[in-house]
């Protein structure tokens, strides 16, 4: 009796691994994750392709359909793993994809084809194609908006290279806004907004975008960057920025507001002449203090003016030469900005330094040439 049972088991195993593939031995399905509502055009739809194989496989290759009407993104590498049924090993295949319907109406996710090379009981190889059933998908029209931006989750951070209201004289500050959207492609994030400041100088840098893959879908990240300086030598206010997005989990539109910010020097760029306004009862000591303040202020204002060779050294010009000799870009940038503010010359040289520092031109900046241009009396060019 035991011998008969063993023979039947062997016969069954041989039959299971014959060159004829029986129903239920292999299976390939495409499943659309149920988000609880009909997706909008442009909204991410998560799809899982799952294969189950109760046969020995020598080679395999999955071919996806054209996916007409969809933009798509594969979420990582194909994943093979093993489960057990009635004590027997079963191979499983899994692929995750994010589809983005490009129009509304009824679309169809076509059949995926798994090209298989199977092995029978005689150790012979034979080819077999396994196809999934097509899946219909109803898509709703996207709500009207200036920029349609659906996402499952949005995270926005606003960071600064240093304290924006505690800048050293002539210093700028780098502002970075990071926008991370889960369930969105990089191009779906709105364009970098224009940062405005009525009393500040704003230099916009090229934005950067990247995408990371996660089980929840792509996580697209945009970096918006600006360098800001007070335009009046004291302080400036950046205006707030806003943009809209659609929360596909809550099924409602939302608005992001990036607040205003004060950018300021800890001390005025050019010291204000210390003129004391004295009343008649202050006496001669107050008038003397006011006179000293006026003289000091005039001395500051006359620095750098072509009134003959002064008897004292100009500290800003000395700082520029010293920074160039040491190769200190930061110190040169600060001193150069202070000189431009004070004398109204050298903007071209300062702009060329910024182009080199912020990567708008190739190569390392020639600090000595830039210093010569900043210190030139009659020209603002690099030569």
Can you give the pLDDT at residue 220?
96
Can you give the pLDDT at residue 322?
81
Q: Contact, 92 vs 53, CB < 8 A?
A: yes
Can you give the pLDDT at residue 283?
40
Distance CA 380, CA 383 (A): 9
Can you give the pLDDT at residue 4?
33
By DSSP bridging, strand 241-247 and strand 150-151 are: parallel
Distance CA 21, CA 118 (A): 9
Give the Cα-Cα-Cα angle 342, 344, 349 (nearest 5 degrees).
Answer: 105
Which CATH number does 17-139 carry?
Answer: 2.60.40
Distance CA 75, CA 218 (A): 7
pLDDT < 70: residue spans in the chain: 1-19, 268-313, 358-362, 377-383
Can you give the pLDDT at residue 377?
59
Q: Contact, 369 vs 382, CB < 8 A?
A: yes
Show the tokens assigned to 62: 């999955």
Can you give the pLDDT at residue 348?
83
Residues of the chain with CATH 2.60.40: 17-139, 150-264
Helix axes 329-343 and 347-357, enclosed angle (nearest 10): 150
Can you give the pLDDT at residue 17?
55
Summarize pLDDT for 86-114 with one digit per residue, the tens.
888 999 999 999 999 999 999 999 999 99
Summarize pLDDT for 310-369 with one digit per residue, the tens.
333 577 787 888 888 888 888 888 888 878 877 777 878 888 887 777 666 667 788 999
Instruction: Look at the domain 150-264 and name its fold.
Output: Immunoglobulin-like (2.60.40)
């Amino acid at each position: 009796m035991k011998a008969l049972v063993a023979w039947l088991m062997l016969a069954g195993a041989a039959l299971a691994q014959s060159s004829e593939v029986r129903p239920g031995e292999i299976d390939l399905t495409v499943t659309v994750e149920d988000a609880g509502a009909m997706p909008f055009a442009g909204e991410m739809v998560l799809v899982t392709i799952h294969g189950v194989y109760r046969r020995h496989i020598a080679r395999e290759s999955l071919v996806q359909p054209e996916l007409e009407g969809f933009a798509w993104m594969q979420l990582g590498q194909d994943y093979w793993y093993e489960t057990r049924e009635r004590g027997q090993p079963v191979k499983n295949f899994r692929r995750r994809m994010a589809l983005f319907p490009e129009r509304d109406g009824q679309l169809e996710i076509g059949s995926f084809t798994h090209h298989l090379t199977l092995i029978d009981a005689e150790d012979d190889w034979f080819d077999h194609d396994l196809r999934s059933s097509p899946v219909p998908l109803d898509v709703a029209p996207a709500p009207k908006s200036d920029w349609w931006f659906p996402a499952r989750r949005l995270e926005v951070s606003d960071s600064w290279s240093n304290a924006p209201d505690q800048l050293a004289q002539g210093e700028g500050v780098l502002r970075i806004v990071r926008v991370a959207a889960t369930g969105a492609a990089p191009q779906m994030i709105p364009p970098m907004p224009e940062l405005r400041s009525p009393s500040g100088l704003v230099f916009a840098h090229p934005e950067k975008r990247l995408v990371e893959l996660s089980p929840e879908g792509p996580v697209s990240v945009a970096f918006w960057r600006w360098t800001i300086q007070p335009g009046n030598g004291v302080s400036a206010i950046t205006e707030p920025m806003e943009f809209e997005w659609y929360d596909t989990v809550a099924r409602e539109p939302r608005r992001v507001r990036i607040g205003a910010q004060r950018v300021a020097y800890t001390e005025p760029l050019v010291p204000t002449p210390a003129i004391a306004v004295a009343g008649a009862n202050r006496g001669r000591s107050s008038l003397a203090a006011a006179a000293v303040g006026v003289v000091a202020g005039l001395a500051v204002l006359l620095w750098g003016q072509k009134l003959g060779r002064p008897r004292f050294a100009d500290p800003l010009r000395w700082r520029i030469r010293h920074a160039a000799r040491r190769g200190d870009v930061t110190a040169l940038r600060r001193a150069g900005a202070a000189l431009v503010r004070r004398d109204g010359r050298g903007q071209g040289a300062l702009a060329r330094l910024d182009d080199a520092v912020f990567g708008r031109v190739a190569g390392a900046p020639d600090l000595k040439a830039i210093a010569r241009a900043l210190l030139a009396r009659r020209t603002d060019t690099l030569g």
